[in-house]
Structure 1
Amino acid sequence: MADPPGCCAACATCLLCPYSCQWITAKKEKRKGLRTTKCDCCWFLFLFIVFLWTLLWLYFSIIILNDFHNFNEFIFKQRKLWFDWSQVLLIATAVLITYSSVLLVLALCLQLCGQPLKLHWVHKILLILTALVVAAAFTGLGIKWAEEWRSARISLQATSPFLHVGIVGGMTLLAWPLASFVYQTHNTGLKVFLLLVYCTVMIALYLAPLGITSPCIMEQNQLPPKPALVGHRGAPMLAPENTLMSLHKAVDCDVQVFETDVMVSADGVPFLMHDEELTRTTNVQAVFPERAVLNSTAFNWTDLQKLDAGSWFLERQPFPTVQSLSDWDRYQATKQRIPSLGQVLEAAKQSNISIMFDLRPENHSDYQNFVNATLGVILQSGIPLQQILWLPDGFREQVKQQAPGVQQVYGRKRLQNEKEPLLHVNLPYQDMSSEEIRQYRQDNISVNLYVVNQPWLFSVLWCSGVSSVTTNACQVLKEMKHPIWLLPSSTYLMIWIVVDCVSFLVILWAFFLVK
């Protein structure tokens, strides 16, 4: 088989060796009579599918990074082992996508050089394993983390205009190897089939923007105000969560609301704690080893004050930002103790920051006393009641009567026959569409969505008109002065037309050039 012009024998050999895992020179190839069989074509098709499969998983991996801290917490509850599993996810994904990408590029270059596509059996096994690993990852995602499918749908609002350009570009580049194959093969039926499939895909891609919608395709003067920031347990990337240090760091980030979780000790003192057990965020295992697995509410306030609520933050490093903390911040973290609600309310009053909290655990047999104790501390603190955002549904009517100035926040959407109008709702960001957010905004209903950490997600919700977002990354979102991208519809239309026209001309040029 003669090498096509522009493809030297040395280049062909260098391409064949990693793809076929053997040193085949051009002379040996001629002597052996090697050629691409139907089976080889099937393996190339499988390679292409695996590449798309891993590319799709790479996209999902980037999307789920917004919520991966929740996964780390879930694993800790199950195994009592803290590790940032996002590193494993990214490294494994990078290996899979790199491997399939390199093989695909080699195969395309071999096709352009007129060389046989003899994929080695080792690569075949590895490709099958790659496909199985990605399939297992998607299956696990669907079973244990189904809400991430809704996150993916939201992400398309941020990425679809650019994905469209990228996919059109990628499919356009395939015109070269496709043209080379079409001109080399003598099977007319196969030629017609491949050309029909390719043309159908390209026409669909050219028309795809007709179905693409994004809240960020709008005029600059239509952009809603920037959403307010709600600190999720304070500023947990900069300080131990649910501590006074975390509250002060949140204030430095211009956070308007400190979101936290309140529990009540065995002797009736409300304090800040998210987990039902103290093992993740304190040294209870060292101080009270025999009581470490008890519910947080089983400890009295004197015992809770003996616990270190900050050193774990430096030891486990729940976020990469911990590594960049100053020496003073590290010192301050080691001095943190579990704060009482009274201490937090005093700090909030001085900083003029609002407090939004859940009262846990809601299924506790003594929950009404928890409500009474919490209300008592709030009323005694002297904090303006409009700075309190009450989330718990239990005994809400009692709260309205005893503290009518407290702002009631609901963890659900409004009902059709609502007795009294909702003024504030607090929901996962996956639970509200852009259209619903706009409608609530028009009806003067404040919408807070959680937990929003990535700038791309914040941008989509900003364009949609959300009132506020709960975030772990207040220091990142604080610096955003505008959404990542904002395109007037006329500009997007121009980009669409230019990309489609350039792609069409390049495809024509590729077929004429190869011929």
Structure 2
Amino acid sequence: MEKKKKKHSKPVNQPSKSSWMLSIINRESCTLCSKLISSISIATNSIWILVWLVLSMVEEDVKDDVNLYLMRELKLVHLVDIFSILKGVHLSLIVVSFAVFICYMCCSNLYTFYIIQIVNLVVVVYNIFFFYYIISTGYIVWHLFLLSLPLLTVRFFYHYSVIIFLVVGLWSIISWYKFKHIPRNRCSGKLVYSLVVMLLFVSAIVSLIKIGCYSCNVRSSLPGKPGLTAHRGCPHSPMPENSLAAFRNAAEIQGVVTLESDVHLSHDGVLFLLHDPTLFRTTSFSKQCPQLSPNTIASTLSYYSGPCPLVNLTLLSGSEDSSSTGPAGPGASNGIPTLKDLLVIAKKNEKNVIFDLARPINKYSTFYVNYTLQAVLKSGINLKKVWWLEEHNRSRISAKYPGLTLAAKSSFTSFKQFQRNNISIANEHWSTTGDIIKRLQSLRMAINMYTIDSVILYEYAWCLGVDTVTTNNCQLLNNHIHNYLHEACHSILLATPWLLILIVALLCLSILTI
């Protein structure tokens, strides 16, 4: 009987099925699945932060021409609003995940381990859907991120510093709590692993800060303050865009050195100022000429005669979208001015002139460039004051009119053509990288950067050492005399070594106390 009992009795050391399952997944061992989820969560969160930098930059200067183009053409009109909501949800998930992780480390509860993985999984799924939304809605321009990185890194330097110290401090507390009862020889591997992860995290943030500062092209001494180019006469003023009142007002601002506009050629041979190809947005065309289509091209109409003379139309006062193609607000003003009127104002106030010349859809389409040049010569303005942007027959124009100041964009013109065609001004977009700016400056090119309306972008252009910036906010930028971006970069570069010393000291103190 005793033998049978021994035969059928269970061994004392044989674990039960439930205890065997619990031993596989416990708080000390991380399964491959949990590691994978955690890794994906960290990776997607990192990408999410980069996307946040880009959209924050768009949000910072949303009234800029290019950002409006980005919003419309890439169908991202409502993305910023949706993103602000998603940002709150995502940050809440991160806080919950971190709180549960702290609870797990302190309470040593197995169930919190499962909660961590569930929250991580939710964050991963959320990020995947968010990225899918971004991709399906449109593609984010890479150069926008390249610009947003240095600017936002500098602006949020102190936020990054607080994050570093919070994470390092919490790591120290958690490590001390977790390893204080474990022999040093048993916990050394895990301690080294966690220390390496912590150092990688700190190095990534510090590198981001350094890249941001150097991307701003900070010099030992701040370059001269850029002059201002009045974009369509600075429509942020009460006057309508491309109106004589706006240009006269801009010419009186001390910091404005150039007047910018867009020129069209009418059917009867009059050069007039208008940004859009049609008249619907900025003039009273729809009310005074209801018999014509709103999409009627302006150059097909006559300035002094015909069914809808352009001289009789009135300009509308600008709205929030006046710097781009959007609906203008009500309010009558003076009529559509001519290029001759603009040149008179520029000559009287000794200002430069730059304009985009539109190819007309009329009998002048084959010789509109020469026609415009003759009009400029007849005005009597100094040719050096005219920044000629038109690319058509540029080499011939350069040889025929050596006094004319030629301007071009580096995106459409090679560096060799700059020297070959005697181009002296580079008209660059604000997203142009610092390397290209340095290359142009090495060729002794004057640089005009467009279109900059916010103070932070103006300070960025100032740090780059550009000569002029095209803006709709002439009064605001003219009154801005301090470059806080340059000062912040210098402070950061000086503070970074001390920050690293404090971090290393804190980590060493943590290791010694464990």
Question: Could you tell me the TM-score, scaled by structure 1's length?
Answer: 0.73
**Runs of 5+ in structure 2 lacking a partner?**
1-25
How far is 1:390 from its partner? 1.5
53, 76, 90: which one aligns with 1:59:
53
1-side partners of 2:160 and 2:242: how far apart? 44
- Cα 1:223–1:295 change in 2 (3 A) is same
* 1:307 to 2:305 alignment: no
Q: What SS does the aligned partner of 1:478 have?
A: helix
Counterpart residue number, 2:456:
456
Letter in 2 for 1:132: F
Letter in 1 for 2:423: L
How far is 1:499 from its partner? 0.8
- Does the 8 Å CA contact 1:169/1:503 hold for their aligned counterparts? no
- Does the 8 Å CA contact 1:308/1:335 hold for their aligned counterparts? yes
Counterpart residue number, 1:237:
236
How far is 1:352 from its partner? 2.9
- Cα 1:77–1:297 change in 2 (3 A) is farther
- Cα 1:62–1:244 change in 2 (3 A) is farther
- Cα 1:97–1:419 change in 2 (3 A) is closer
* 1:70 to 2:63 alignment: no
Within 5 Å, which residues of 2 pair with 1:152-163?
152-160=145-153
- Cα 1:416–1:268 change in 2 (3 A) is closer
How far is 1:403 from its partner? 5.4
- Cα 1:317–1:276 change in 2 (3 A) is closer
Q: What SS does the aligned partner of 1:423 have?
A: strand
Q: What SS does the aligned partner of 1:409 have?
A: strand
- Cα 1:139–1:457 change in 2 (3 A) is farther
Q: What SS does the aligned partner of 2:296 have?
A: coil
1-side partners of 2:27 and 2:42: how far apart? 20
Counterpart residue number, 1:12:
none
- Does the 8 Å CA contact 1:218/1:487 hold for their aligned counterparts? no
- Cα 1:291–1:399 change in 2 (3 A) is farther
- Cα 1:495–1:131 change in 2 (3 A) is same
How far is 1:198 from its partner? 2.5
348, 366, 371: which one aligns with 1:350:
348
Counterpart residue number, 2:166:
173
1-side partners of 2:35 and 2:74: how far apart? 46
How far is 1:360 from its partner? 0.5
Q: What SS does the aligned partner of 1:268 have?
A: coil
- Does the 8 Å CA contact 2:264/2:359 hold for their aligned counterparts? yes
2-side partners of 1:122 and 1:204: how far apart? 25
Q: What SS does the aligned partner of 1:226 have?
A: coil
Aligned length: 457
Counterpart residue number, 1:371:
369
* 1:384 to 2:382 alignment: yes
2-side partners of 1:61 and 1:250: how far apart? 32
Q: What SS does the aligned partner of 2:408 have?
A: coil
Letter in 2 for 1:217: V
1-side partners of 2:369 and 2:206: how far apart? 59
- Cα 1:54–1:420 change in 2 (3 A) is closer
Letter in 2 for 1:57: V
- Does the 8 Å CA contact 2:267/2:363 hold for their aligned counterparts? no
2-side partners of 1:265 and 1:74: how far apart? 31
**Runs of 5+ in structure 1 lacking a partner?**
1-33, 80-84, 323-329
Counterpart residue number, 2:481:
481
How far is 1:230 from its partner? 1.0
Counterpart residue number, 1:275:
276
- Cα 1:508–1:248 change in 2 (3 A) is farther
Letter in 1 for 2:144: S
2-side partners of 1:307 and 1:417: how far apart? 40
Letter in 2 for 1:70: V
1-side partners of 2:72 and 2:434: how far apart? 34
87, 93, 112: which one aligns with 2:83:
93
Measured against aligned partners, the alpha-carbon deviations of 1:49-104 in whole angstroms (never above 9, x if no partner) come to: 5554443222112323446433535777999xxxxx77x44432322222222232
Letter in 1 for 2:365: Y
2-side partners of 1:214 and 1:270: how far apart? 42
- Does the 8 Å CA contact 1:161/1:209 hold for their aligned counterparts? yes
Question: Could you tell me the TM-score, scaled by structure 2's length?
Answer: 0.73
2-side partners of 1:139 and 1:510: how far apart? 46
- Cα 1:474–1:492 change in 2 (3 A) is same
- Does the 8 Å CA contact 1:47/1:100 hold for their aligned counterparts? no
Measured against aligned partners, the alpha-carbon deviations of 1:463-487 in whole angstroms (never above 9, x if no partner) come to: 2221112222223321221322335
Measured against aligned partners, the alpha-carbon deviations of 1:300-344 in whole angstroms (never above 9, x if no partner) come to: 114223434214x24x65479x9xxxxxxx99x521432221222
Letter in 1 for 2:244: L
Measured against aligned partners, the alpha-carbon deviations of 1:225-250 in whole angstroms (never above 9, x if no partner) come to: 11111122220222432222331342
How far is 1:160 from its partner? 4.5
Q: CA RMSD in A?
A: 4.2
- Cα 1:72–1:410 change in 2 (3 A) is closer
- Cα 1:511–1:140 change in 2 (3 A) is farther
